[in-house]
Amino acid sequence: MSNDNSKKALILDFGGVVTRTLFETHDVTERALSLPPGSLTWRGPFDPSTDPLWVSMQNREITERDYWMTRTREVGEQLGETWTDMKTFVQRARGAEPELVLRPEARDAILKTKAAGVRLAILSNELDLFYGVEFRKRFPLIDLFDVIVDATYTQILKPDPRAYELVLAELGLDRENCVFVDDQKKNIEGAVAVHLPHVHFDVTRPAEGYHRALAMLGL
């Protein structure tokens, strides 16, 4: 890896890596939607036994978008409403307070990376699709990112090799000088396929994932 930090980049998935997952913020969601505490019981990777649908996604019987559309419809039904897109869920659940969503570990890593002169990128399958343009604009630290590649617009979803090539092309950097971080195994397999250095992020141990990624960048 280059010794010139300006020729390095940390490439982050957004949901789960930069943000706390919706599994971690059930209390925030319940307050925002005036649902009784304990209304939301699915815990995804934090307790797969509560979430057969999550297990189906991990087994690739359904897609990540399928999973979240099902949860979106369910939560809307709990309110007696019909929700047809993930954006509605995210914005109603916590869109008023983007600060609540940012992982503290992500904040620390992003600031440290930027201070060291290493470039920052987001490679997301659904940043604006799920969170919405206004949420992104108000999200803390978003202005520190040099490049944002969002499949909401490119229509090229990870793990398609073209998604990774696109962010590398926008950064204009050699892949061996970049580190990609994602919490979904299939997206890590996509990085492996294009020989992009990577960290498979465990959302239940976020500090560990960021520590490893920064160490790979020499930080």
Q: Which domains does the chain have, with CATH numbers?
A: 5-19+102-216 (3.40.50.1000), 26-97 (no CATH)
* DSSP state, residue 184: -
**pLDDT of 95:** 66
- Regions of the chain short of the pLDDT cut 70: 95-96
Query: Which pTM value belongs to this model?
Result: 0.92
Q: What's the CA gap between 8 and 6, in Å, rounded? A: 6
pLDDT, residue 5, reads: 97
Residue 3: what pLDDT?
A: 85
For 175-207, b/e burial (b = at least 16 CB within 10 A) is bebbbbbbbbeebbebbeebebbbbbbebeebe
Question: What confidence score (pLDDT) does residue 135 get?
Answer: 86
Asked if residues 120 and 110 have their Cβ atoms less than 8 Å apart, the reply is yes
**Contact between residue 164 and residue 122 where contact means Cβ atoms under 8 Å apart:** no
Residue 99 confidence (pLDDT): 82
Of 45, 59, 66, 76, nearest in space to 125 by CA: 66
Lay out the sheet containing 9-12: strands in order across: 147-150, 119-124, 9-12, 178-182, 198-200
Q: Identify whether the C-beta of residue 147 lies closer than 8 Å to the C-beta of residue 171.
A: yes
Name residue 93's amino acid. A
